[in-house]
Amino acid sequence: MKWRQVLAAWVGGMGVVGLAAVSAAQSNPVLEITPDRARSFRAAVQLFAQPVAASPESESEFESGPGGPSPVPLAPAQLEELRRAIEEGLEFSSVVLPLSRDAYLVSQVSESIQGGPRTVCPEWSQSGAEAWVEGEIRKRPTGIAVAYQVWDSARCTRLEAETVDGRVTNLRRLGQRIADRVVAALTGRAGASETELAFVSTRTGQTEIFVMDADGNRARSATRSPALKSFPAWLPRGGALLYTAFQSSGVPALFLTSRGGVRPGPFLRRTLAGRPKYRGVFSPQGDWVAIVSSVAGEAEIFRVRPAGKDLKRLTQSSAIEVSPSWSPDGRQIAFVSDRSGAPQIYIMDADGGNVRRVTFQGSYNTSPAWSPDGRWIAYETRLEGHIDIWMVDPTGEVNVPLVAHPRDDEGPTWSPDGRKIAFSSNRRGRADIYRIDIDGRNLVRMTKDSGQNTQPAWSPYPRLEDD
């Protein structure tokens, strides 16, 4: 009988297990449980604490105005603002939603986050929260530090404990960053609420590149000139944008924006000199730029190092080849070619070899956008006289609709977490930027200003040292 004890210890690692239990386990069937339906996680966001340091200054009362030394960095309204920002960042994810504040069974305010196991786990679990977020604000010489923790209420374990630095004037961004990390703690993939979208807008009367936050707020111009501009594309490190502008000569050329710490102005001016450069797209690794230029009047795709070396023509047909989109590993490029007589999506290796066609349905498939996880290529397709957005897998075997509407939906771009797609649509008359979850839920119009808003380009994840 000894082997059973050994087996029990080996199987469970739980110490002493009764022999009867082992016998039962051996004869019991496996209980197999599949999920009945998908639901979002819920996380409770507490009001973060502000522990008062035991220093002489701490005897003074809270002062919100400038000047006097204040032991607590944030006013009550600011604490609430931070909490709201975290909740809205979670709401953005669609994956981990904030627990309704009416559902709280325990205090809304974080205790000191120091210390060990929590006794409130069952209460949070009963509230319907898979996790809760607590934290405290600490003063820093320049700004504040927010120490936060993410707790799993069912297992009563701490999933994450981090400190993020920021400024009192940008609590929203701090909250988004924390929310994105909460999503990562529960799913393994960070949320993307702290990202941006570039797009082309005519709202100023000129055609400019604009940037807005992923929640649709803070739209601001990234360019200012009369030149017609198009095709904004982020540099892989984020911050800066590459775009196309039609110069006074009428020849399109590539430019970098003045934002994001790069030297603004013409980019790769000596590459393909004198020829039009319709569009430039950095590889995700940043080691190549795919360029659409023209040969004998037909658009072709080239690649070149960002410093201008190793120029190579990738497409060789006499047809039109445009719209390069890199695979996330930088080894392949999806593009559009009309070599079959109508525009279709193709994939080639990054050196131009191994070309294969991906879309076979319909006679108009353009604007491929490769997903960050590599599993999908979103693209435009013309159906019954209007343009919809579909997704095809790189083998071409699975082809599914994502956005279908009697008006045109164009220019898909992926959020860096791969959970959402933004696109432009004229469904309300003028063109606006929308975003949608890739399961087809949560359609949100992001641009609310006048003018035509088109060609969205979703930024990479922010770099944490950007602040």
Partner 1 sequence: MAASAAFHLVGGLVVGLASTPFANSAPAAIQVSLVASLPAPRPKPATQSRPARPPAPRQKQVVLPRQSTTRVAKKQPSKPQEIAYEDVLSQLRDELGESDDVEETEDTPDVLAGIRGSEGGRPVDREVAAWMVATRRHVRSVWVTPPEFLERTLRTEMWIEVAADGTIVDEPQVVESSGDPFWDDNAVRAMLSASPLPAPPASGRWRVAFPTRGDE
One-letter amino acid of 467: D
Question: What is the CB neighbour count within 10 angstroms for residue 54?
Answer: 8
Helices (H), 244-334: none
Is 357 among the residues that bind partner 1 (CB under 8 A)? no
Among the candidate windows 46-54, 76-84, 211-219, 375-383, which touches partner 1 by CB under 8 A? 375-383
Query: Residue 148 phi/psi, 5° resolution?
Result: -130, 160
Give the whole-angstrom CA distance, residue 119 versus residue 136.
19
Q: In angstroms, what is the minimal distance from the CB of 35 to partner 1?
A: 5
Residue 220 structure tokens? 């601001």
Chain residues 128-187 in contact with partner 1, contact rule CB under 8 A: 130, 152, 154-155, 186-187
Inter-residue contact 422 to 379 (CB < 8 Å): no
Q: Least Å distance between CB 148 and partner 1? A: 19
170/318 with CB nearer partner 1: 318
Q: Is residue 76 a contact point for partner 1 (CB under 8 A)?
A: no
CB 166 within 8 A of CB 146: yes
With CB under 8 A as the contact rule, the residue among 240, 402, 422, 446 that binds partner 1 is: 402
**Of the candidates 5, 7, 41, 452, which one interacts with partner 1 according to CB under 8 A?**
41
* Calpha distance 269→267 (Å, rounded): 5
Question: Binders of partner 1 among 278-297, rule CB under 8 A?
Answer: 278, 292, 294
Q: Which of 274, 226, 261 is nearest to 246 (CA)?
A: 226
Q: Which of residues 422-461 bind partner 1 (CB under 8 A)?
A: 436, 438-441, 443
Q: Length of the chain in residues, anyone?
A: 467
- Our finding on whether 401 is near partner 1 (CB under 8 A) is yes
Closest to partner 1 by CB, 197 or 200 = 200
Question: Does residue 26 belong to the site contacting partner 1 (CB under 8 A)?
Answer: yes
As a whole number of angstroms, the distance between CA 377 and CA 327 comes to 9
Q: How far apart are CA 306 and CA 314, in angstroms?
A: 16
Query: Rounded to whole angstroms, how far apart are CA atoms 246 and 423?
Result: 23
Cβ nearer to partner 1, comparing 406 with 429: 406
Query: Which one, 109 or 398, has the nearer CB to partner 1?
Result: 398
250 binds partner 1 (CB under 8 A): no
Asked if residue 11 binds partner 1 (CB under 8 A), the reply is yes
372 binds partner 1 (CB under 8 A): no
Q: Find the binder of partner 1 among 34, 55, 119, 142 (CB under 8 A).
A: 34
Rg, the chain, Cα only? 27
How far is C-alpha 84 from the geometric centre of its chain's CA atoms? 20
Give which of 298, 300, 281 is closest to 289, Cα–Cα.
Answer: 281
Stretch near partner 1 under the rule CB under 8 A, chosen from 75-83, 137-145, 195-203, 337-345:
337-345
Q: CB-wise, 176 or 244, nearer to partner 1? A: 244
Inter-axis angle of helices 171-187 and 76-93, to 10 degrees?
Answer: 40
Q: How many CB atoms lie within 10 A of CB 66?
A: 6
Q: Which stretch binds partner 1 (CB under 8 A): 17-25, 112-120, 167-175, 193-201?
A: 17-25
Question: Which residues ranging from 108 to 127 are in contact with partner 1 (CB under 8 A)?
Answer: 125
Instruction: Name the minimum Å distance from CB 435 to partner 1.
Output: 13
Q: How far is the CB of 111 from partner 1 (least distance, A)?
A: 23
